[in-house]
Amino acid sequence: MEHEFTGGAILIKDDALLPRELYFESEPCVPGWKIVTDLTALALDREIQKTGWTFFCFAGETMTSAFGIDRTKMVRKAIEAVLARKTSDRFNSLEILKVKFVKSERFPLVQYLTLSVQWRHIQQSIIPFSVRNVSNSYLQQADIRSEGTAPAGGKTLQRLIA
């Protein structure tokens, strides 16, 4: 099924952990990702907040471009280019901010696409990327010990990683 890509559209990873109470319509978009078809980014944010989860919006935007004749194929190609970047592994959703098409003066059938996206992340904690994602080496450098051991100050710290 074809979907019109516009600003405010949200893509979510197929395997993203989502709240059970969250309902939305979606359809496959690019391999491993689905597009939310019945809610904009703002509406999805409200629905996620109702469940007690958080829909993070990270500063900055990522831009890419594509050439072609078919608009839908051009947008999919541009989205795939953004998702191919290593940063996409850290996030489970993506908001399309702007989709701009410019026709070529020299080649009337060919268009130029500029796509602007912003990384988003849905999670239960209000802290971006929970403590479970912090590497053990970082925890060792911060002098965080297992439950029951006492650091220099004599206070016992709770174990942070299950």
Give the pLDDT score at 161. 38
- The whole domain housing 138 covers 130-162
**Per-run averaged pLDDT (10 residues), the chain, 162 residues:** 73 90 90 90 91 86 90 89 80 90 86 91 72 41 38 39 36
23: DSSP letter: -
Structure pTM? Answer: 0.70
Whether residue 39 sits in one domain with residue 102: yes
Give the pLDDT score at 135. 40
Whether residue 109 sits in one domain with residue 82: yes
Give the pLDDT score at 126. 67
In a domain, 115, yes or no: yes
The tokens for 133 are 């994602």
